[in-house]
Amino acid sequence: MNRPQLPRSVTVLGAVAAAAILVPTAASATGSLVTISDASSSNAARVSTDGRLKTDAGGTELAFRTPAGAVSFPAGTSRLLGKVDVSDYSRIRIMADERAGSASNISFRVTTTEGNELVAQLATFTLTPHSQRTFVVDVPTKVVSIYADAAPGSGNVATDFLVYGSR
């Protein structure tokens, strides 16, 4: 008894389709973070340290900002500007300015935070009135706390502080 044979092109097409499904496009691992990317587009996904699958198109988003119009507080005092969840990001861009007319310099501390414990300073810098600074840091933590310490003086200081995250 003869069995009907499939045309050779159908057999080859089936083999190519099976190979395309079984062969991953690209994968890379750094530390405990695994990133999966599609080589034919900019789409990517990653498995976070807590086991969640996160997808992104590689963009940057605003993670934190002080209220519009600046935060103002007395010279010679310190202020917690905010605690920021950075667990979704591999890097953050910090942007800060000190408003013209501020009474003294402001020193900033971006600190790694575990629960209520300030563990280590991720970044520190000082601004003078009417100056600004921006830079990028890798994120080794889930939460950062941002403090502003105004040098002694008479009057108030004013600052804007923004954090952008990228995956």
Q: Kindly report, residue by residue over 70-107, the tens digit of the pLDDT.
A: 999 999 999 999 999 999 999 999 999 999 999 999 99
In 3D space, the residue among 16, 141, 7, 159 whose CA is nearest the CA of residue 97 turns out to be 159
Proportion of the chain above pLDDT 90, given as a percent: 57
CATH 3.40.50.920 fits 60-166, yes or no: no
Whether the CB-CB separation of 105 and 126 falls below 8 Å is answered with yes
Q: Where do the structural domains in the chain lie, given as residue ranges?
A: 8-56, 60-166
| Cβ atoms of residues 143 and 85 within 8 Å | yes
- Summarised one tens digit per residue, pLDDT across range 146-161 is 999 999 999 999 999 9
Q: In the beta sheet, which residues pair with residue 98?
A: 131, 159
- Which of 6-10, 59-63, 150-154 has maximum average pLDDT? 150-154
DSSP classification of residue 167: -
Place 116 in a pLDDT band, splitting at 50, 70 and 90.
confident
